[in-house]
Structure 1
Amino acid sequence: MLACPILINEETPEALSYICLKYICTCLDSISYRDPVNPWMHHLLPGVILPNEICERLLQVFQQEGNSVDDGFANLFSDSRCMPLKRLKLRNSTLGNEALKRLLGAHRLTEVDLQRCSRLTDQCFETLNATSDQLLSLSIGDDTGIFPKTLHSGSDARMTSAYEARGFMLRAPKLKRLSLRMQCERKYFLTLLRPLRSLTHLDLSCCGGLGCLDYLDEMQCLMSLVLYNVQGVQSMIPAICSIKSLRHLDISQANEKHGKFLDENQALLLLIQNLPNLESLDISGTNLAGTGAAVMHEGPVNSDSGVSDIPGLKSRAFRPLEFLGLYGTMHGACHRHDIPAKRISGDANEQQILTAAAAYLDRPEILQKVLNDLYHLFRFESCQDLNMALTLVLGAMDRHRTEKHIQISGSATLFYIVKGKEKQVFVPHIKKRIVSTLLNAMSAHKDDDTMMRNGCLTLCQFKIPQDVLFEYQRLVEILLHIVSDMEQEGFVQRIGIYLLNSLACQVDGTQKQLLGDMGAMDKMLRIIEDRLQRRHCDDVLEVAWSTMWNVTDETAVNCQRFLEGGGMDLFLRCLNTFHEKEELLRNMMGLLGNVAEVKHLRPKLMTSEFVNVFANLLDSNTDGIEVSYNAAGVLSHMASDGADKWTMTTPRREDVLSRMVGAVEKWDLNTERNINYRSFEPILHLVNVNHTPECQHWAVWALANLTEVYENKYCFLVIEEGGIQLLYALLAHEAPYPRIKELATKVIDKCREQFPEHLVFHQEMSSSVECSRSELVLMPVLAHMDQY
């Protein structure tokens, strides 16, 4: 029967149990320890005992999160007293024979579902046979070779096999559901199936060598028979007609040439007349719907016949089927008007397409076509049932991670779903589900240009980095692969480096360091080297510098990586080769400003060549004041170490400082900025440098400009980080000259104006020059607390 997928629920948040299970999946050490000899093997921690429902859910969530069940993870379930299972459902696992044998032997399983478990062989069959007394459901996929390929172990096919001699292949007296994908002989299926008389559901999709199915005549409990993609169904019709208990029959085909029946109208009519309990019928991909339109009966219409555009279903006109599969039927049957069915799979409208997607979730060759139909529906029309569409697309992608074309079609549809006007209603846990599914697909097909393009474009519809922080490391890995290993100058590389740069913005130092640890600096430097060798300046080159600018922000280890990777040489070469590129120059100088903030790295910048370059850039009008501003910032930090650290004779320190002050005074205090400060700590450090007032001049001008133009954001940051106390200390000191104190007063006044309730201004603070940095930071916080 047609499965009804569980809809993604916008209203209900993620269950606490699901959140906990996801945590366990990402941190298996919370319930297990690794074998000291074989580190890949997990052992359950002493005292950990979970109920059956939680164990099965853990296995499900582990796979949903993109993990493959291997021997090491499966070992957690080796003791049924601590981790009991009744249902074993594995998909795309790398489980081996011995691990499966342990699971089968340890648990009294009622359901076993093994899909795409390519390492399993028929060595497990007898273990399965010996432990199947309680088995109710068994499903073996086409890539899982548990069943023997032949009845005979020897070369003489005339000999009676051991299975025939004992009267059965599979000893499963309670088995209700069986699904197989095999190519064998009629005798094989007869020996396997005839003893299984309790079967209610039998799925023999894609099986070959079934014969005429006459051995099913004793299965009087059979309610569902699926013969999808089975050849020679016409010869099986008499046997099918004898199974009066059937409620669901699927004889659909993926290949049109195998779906041609002789006297198709009569063949369908024969099935309908002989299967009185039929509620669901799938004839997709066949000619059984006939070619003509409805033919009205002359005279009165009795209760057994009526109008139907499908001649073979005329008798069901007044008793319509619950489901009728017409997807890909010849002569476009799904587009006809009078179809005696409540639900129809087809491509005529949205409802039919969504019904088809739900019906064929486990049939990748058909599902790919349905997803293409859904994609065109979103692209050229509109989809009313967005919730169902999203549920089905995510379900399809999660089920078939290794099927590239399903991932491509699914991700293309996801793009239009999240791009649409409805995207704002997605609650966080649904966003997480979409992002995780996309990353699973991108990880599985990371060398496919189309898949990576679809994934990146879809991710761009989310808020970066906020919506992807929970998958930060995995996304970084994918993007680093894109920018370094995929086609240079291609669209995918450009969008990949854009996303990587966005990931480096507005995150804390831990994540910035993680980016560096994963090789971001090295890969950016290699991109720059490539562009220099080809003398080609493009947006990728500019964003590579921007990414390093963001990654080095208050992250000393990444600044060091830049220097050790030959970054300064690349800076000079880019400056000489692409000197007219304003955006590039701004990004490079922003990066060098971060490097100059690191005290132990400043000596590496203290060369005549570098300092002359920085000094000359003080007069630059590139990108407004940004390049000049950053050059002054670099020189201020270098000069803040004192005259004895200025180790070169030319240019002279006092000459550089004089040029720097001249540049600062040319800037308009109301200039809007292309910069974003998370912290003022490096600038506030310079406010304290009384031995070199020129450094204070640049720092206080920066604070005055930012609090004047972006008062709501930066006034509070000055207060929060103890800047007001530092500025009072500056006003009380004799070293700063009047212009510096004038700018400092502007900052204090602006902060008082914006946030008077956050400050208690004590005039005596001006004498607190000796306060430690930590004390100064605490003062406004304590003052704020006193108000309450």
Structure 2
Amino acid sequence: TSADQLHRGITAESCPVALSELCLAQVCLSLDSLCSTQPDGSLRLSWAPLLPQEMADQLLHKMAAQGTLNDRTVGIFRSCEQLRLRRACVRSSPLSAEAFRLALCPHRLQELDASGVPGGLTGAHILSGLASNPECRASLQRLTLSRLQLGWTSLEVKEEQVGFSSLQGLRTLNLANTDLTDPFLEDICTLPQLEVLDISSTPVTELSALLGCRLTLRSLTAHGLRQLDMSPARVISILSQLHALRHLDLSDDRFVSGDEAVRLLLEGGSGILPALVSLDVSGRKKVTEGAVTAFVEGRRGLLFLGLLATGAGSCDVLSGKNNLKVTGEANEKQICESLRRYRERECFTREALVHLYQLTNDMYNQTRPDILKLVLGGMQNYSESLHVQLVASACVFNLTNQDMAVGMPHPLLSAVVHQVLEAMRSFPSHQQLQKNCLLVLCSDTILQDVPFDRFEAAKLVMNWLSGHVDRTLQRMAVAVISILVAKLSTEQTTQLGADIFIMKQLLGIVQQKAMAGVVDSTLKFALSALWNLTDETPTASRHFIQCQGLELYEEVLKTYSSESSIQQKVLGLLNNIAEVEELQADMMQEDLLEHVVTLLQGPQVEVGISYFAGGILAHLTSRQDAWTLDQGLRQTILEQLHAAILTWALPEREMVSYRSFRPFFSLLQTSQPAGVQLWAVWAMHLVCTQNGVQYCQMLQVEGAVELLKTLSSDLDTHSNVRGMAESILGMVERHQTTSNPLRTQTEKGHHGRS
């Protein structure tokens, strides 16, 4: 693709949402507060200005797109004075015949899209409702009833029924995938201005009725007419008499052999329908390159040719036609055109995605948001199709793998991840699809930078992990979970940790690796996930104890005594457990504490290990009344803790991050031993030094500054603690000052949130 095409693709996805779109979305979400309820249960706007007509159309369309349009909410359009509709879309919205009649039929509609409306609304209801408004009879120009039951067995007019011919202004009619029959078609073809007709996948058996509109019909879509009962010669004879025809679609998604009618049309050259500018014969397996060549050479004005799944897309005559758009599988351009053209044809979408997957296998380090957007469209349109989701998710992985996601617009990636999670939720037992989706999620760019529902993703990946033992995929799943859990809010982590199943799964992986003495990324990711899962979440910490996690972690500490990265993660989690007062009794084990004390200091002990070992000891010794072991041991631990902290040097890299300082508040009380206080202020000093903007503000917001002031001014507080507290307060003051360079001299004494 050219550089400017790529730029347009990125710009289109990166630009902010229009203000009007945001306003309409908010109105949809706020209808209950903006409306009053009528006696029949429908809503009516409590106050509404006279909206521009286009805005009323957009509001209806937005309600349908967001799934908020129904019998109750459509009532706001009963007032034709405030909300005047011209182009109405109720696509896939559950409406009854009565609600449709009362809310939409009084408007002077020009267009109506009622595709796939559930809830019993039929084509007969729609026609009779529209025809009841004399203005609609003349004004309606475009009507779409695809995927809808027409509801009449014949055109025998009953008291409340009228035919399509009553809508004399119709120019465009889409009845694809309906129960349209020959008598209906005869009635339709009497419309005096009919220009565009779609009768795809209907039970029509005869096309002779089309001769009734041979002077006006410009576009005929007759895809997949499987009950057609006419000789090929007769079909061509009728089509050749449609003198105004410019666009013709005879494609078939059964991928059967090309029939005789298509062959006659192609090989007839310019003698048949010479004015055609668009022809679609996709799915006709035996279309020959010779026939395509004859057809193309006989029509210089040809703009589109549909050849997907015909095998004729590589025909030489197509290569020199720059203005001719072709759907097929011969190259990237044809495949992308197929995805654009066949959004509402599942079989063709799947076929195009299969070829796109083969193409994207060779796209190394190419950022292609334009193609990813096409794949996303297919996933969204066929979210319930396993076949589409399977191949589309494979394409997504190829397009976002490694560094290819870095240059993708985040809104586009966010939408893609949402659809990937939908696929995981919809097909939980399909192993290959789940694998594809997991591979997509296992991307640093997606996991770290792209907004999506990480809580839902963590649950879905955990559910997948429970039934699979493939080592490579297990490693990826645990890595994804580890990163996702670290990104969750405290509330979400608490909710996730409430499921003891998740704790059992992760501990099971740790045990499996520890029994084998393996040191690999899966073990490290599992330990990190458990560490984050227990952070300020007492429920998860309790589950850890219940699942014999403490015993397992003691063994891990001993087994991996020379692996500092493993030890740090283990001690980090034990530090979380030690913060929970009700669980401290479970940790009062002399062997465990003596082992932790050995990790406080020494030439071979890294400061990260010493730090977390000190945290465990600080929390457990902070409550003298809860200490159940020998008091002499407690005093020894406190002395060694104090001495060890004085030897620690600040690490160069970030060692730990905190969501809150509140777990430290009890350690900062003036009644606490000096060693306990010193560990808490050293921890605060550490993170404030490495990320002053974030943590100095957190100290102020959470009220920790006042505790530090108390320590620094208390003469009974150990000098080491007072000095560290004063140092932290100095950092807070500096950040408070530099965050607002316009502060006056008199403001510097205040210690509020900057």
Q: Aligning the two structures, in what range does the TM-score lie when normalised by the shorter sequence?
A: 0.7 to 0.9
For 1:734-749, list aligned pairs within 5 A. Answer: 734-737=715-718
Which of 131, 137, 143 lines up with 2:142 in the alignment?
A: 137
Which residue matches 1:310? 293
- The one-character-per-residue Cα deviations of 1:97-144 (angstroms, maximum 9, x if unpaired) are 55545544454443332344454354x6234323142432222333x3
How much has 1:249 moved relative to structure 2?
Answer: 0.9
- The one-character-per-residue Cα deviations of 1:295-336 (angstroms, maximum 9, x if unpaired) are xxxxxxxxxxxxxx61234322xx241112222224555455
Q: Does the Cα contact within 8 Å between 1:524 and 1:544 map onto a contact in 2?
A: no
TM-score between the two structures when normalised by the length of structure 2: 0.79
For 1:303-702, list aligned pairs within 5 A. Answer: 310-316=293-299, 319-332=300-313, 334=315, 336=317, 342-381=324-363, 386=368, 388-419=370-401, 423-445=405-427, 447-461=429-443, 463=445, 467-469=449-451, 471-472=452-453, 475-484=454-463, 487-489=467-469, 495=476, 498-505=479-486, 511-517=489-495, 521-528=499-506, 543=525, 546-547=528-529, 549-553=531-535, 555=536, 558-559=537-538, 561-563=539-541, 565=543, 567=545, 569-575=547-553, 578-579=556-557, 580=559, 586-597=568-579, 601-607=580-586, 609=588, 613-620=592-599, 624-641=606-623, 643-646=624-627, 652-661=633-642, 664=645, 669-670=650-651, 674-680=655-661, 682-683=663-664, 686-689=667-670, 691-702=672-683
Runs of at least 5 residues in structure 2 that lack an aligned partner in the other structure: 1-7, 132-136, 741-746
The two structures, once aligned, show a CA RMSD in angstroms of 4.6
How much has 1:564 moved relative to structure 2?
Answer: 5.1
Decide whether aligned partners of structure 1 residues 138 and 447 sit closer, same or farther in structure 2, where only a CA change above 3 A counts: farther
How much has 1:482 moved relative to structure 2?
Answer: 3.2
Which of 13, 19, 37 lines up with 1:16 in the alignment?
A: 19
Distance, in Å, in 2 between the alignment partners of 1:242 and 1:76 is: 47
Decide whether aligned partners of structure 1 residues 699 and 345 sit closer, same or farther in structure 2, where only a CA change above 3 A counts: same
How much has 1:693 moved relative to structure 2?
Answer: 0.7
Q: Does the Cα contact within 8 Å between 1:86 and 1:109 map onto a contact in 2?
A: yes
The percentage of aligned residue pairs carrying the same residue is 24
How much has 1:203 moved relative to structure 2?
Answer: 0.9
Decide whether aligned partners of structure 1 residues 140 and 610 sit closer, same or farther in structure 2, where only a CA change above 3 A counts: farther
Q: Does the Cα contact within 8 Å between 1:261 and 1:287 map onto a contact in 2?
A: no
How much has 1:238 moved relative to structure 2?
Answer: 0.8
Which of 208, 216, 225 lines up with 2:220 in the alignment?
A: 225
How much has 1:247 moved relative to structure 2?
Answer: 0.9
How much has 1:182 moved relative to structure 2?
Answer: 4.7
Give, as a single letter, the amino acid of the residue that structure 2 aligns with 1:277. A
Which residue matches 1:717? 695
For 1:170-319, list aligned pairs within 5 A. Answer: 171-182=166-177, 187-231=182-226, 234=232, 235-261=234-260, 264=263, 266-270=264-268, 272-286=270-284, 290-292=288-290, 310-316=293-299, 319=300
Decide whether aligned partners of structure 1 residues 141 and 578 sit closer, same or farther in structure 2, where only a CA change above 3 A counts: farther
- The one-character-per-residue Cα deviations of 1:378-434 (angstroms, maximum 9, x if unpaired) are 321479994542443333333332223323333333334444767545455444444
- The one-character-per-residue Cα deviations of 1:607-637 (angstroms, maximum 9, x if unpaired) are 5745763453232489945455324213323
Distance, in Å, in 1 between the alignment partners of 2:92 and 2:282 is: 28
Which residue matches 2:120? 120
Which residue matches 1:158? none
Q: Does the Cα contact within 8 Å between 1:757 and 1:784 map onto a contact in 2?
A: no
Give, as a single letter, the amino acid of the residue that structure 2 aligns with 1:699. A
Decide whether aligned partners of structure 1 residues 466 and 783 sit closer, same or farther in structure 2, where only a CA change above 3 A counts: same
SS at 2:592's partner residue?
A: helix
Bigger mean CA deviation after superposition, 15-24 or 374-383: 374-383
Distance, in Å, in 2 between the alignment partners of 1:665 and 1:568 is: 36
Q: Does the Cα contact within 8 Å between 2:86 and 2:108 map onto a contact in 1?
A: yes
Distance, in Å, in 1 between the alignment partners of 2:319 and 2:637 is: 88
Decide whether aligned partners of structure 1 residues 386 and 466 sit closer, same or farther in structure 2, where only a CA change above 3 A counts: closer
Which residue matches 2:54? 53
Distance, in Å, in 1 between the alignment partners of 2:181 and 2:736 is: 89
How much has 1:248 moved relative to structure 2?
Answer: 0.6
Runs of at least 5 residues in structure 1 that lack an aligned partner in the other structure: 1-5, 153-160, 294-308, 761-777
Distance, in Å, in 1 between the alignment partners of 2:583 and 2:500 is: 19
Decide whether aligned partners of structure 1 residues 534 and 724 sit closer, same or farther in structure 2, where only a CA change above 3 A counts: closer
Bigger mean CA deviation after superposition, 694-703 or 513-522: 513-522
How much has 1:68 moved relative to structure 2?
Answer: 7.0
Decide whether aligned partners of structure 1 residues 165 and 635 sit closer, same or farther in structure 2, where only a CA change above 3 A counts: closer
TM-score between the two structures when normalised by the length of structure 1: 0.76
Bigger mean CA deviation after superposition, 729-738 or 338-347: 729-738
Distance, in Å, in 2 between the alignment partners of 1:492 and 1:91 is: 40
Decide whether aligned partners of structure 1 residues 368 and 400 sit closer, same or farther in structure 2, where only a CA change above 3 A counts: same
Q: Does the Cα contact within 8 Å between 1:691 and 1:735 map onto a contact in 2?
A: no
SS at 1:256's partner residue?
A: coil
Distance, in Å, in 2 between the alignment partners of 1:383 and 1:494 is: 24
- The one-character-per-residue Cα deviations of 1:561-600 (angstroms, maximum 9, x if unpaired) are 2355464553224225645356666445434434544xxx
Decide whether aligned partners of structure 1 residues 623 and 339 sit closer, same or farther in structure 2, where only a CA change above 3 A counts: farther
How much has 1:223 moved relative to structure 2?
Answer: 0.5
Give, as a single letter, the amino acid of the residue that structure 1 aligns with 2:280. D
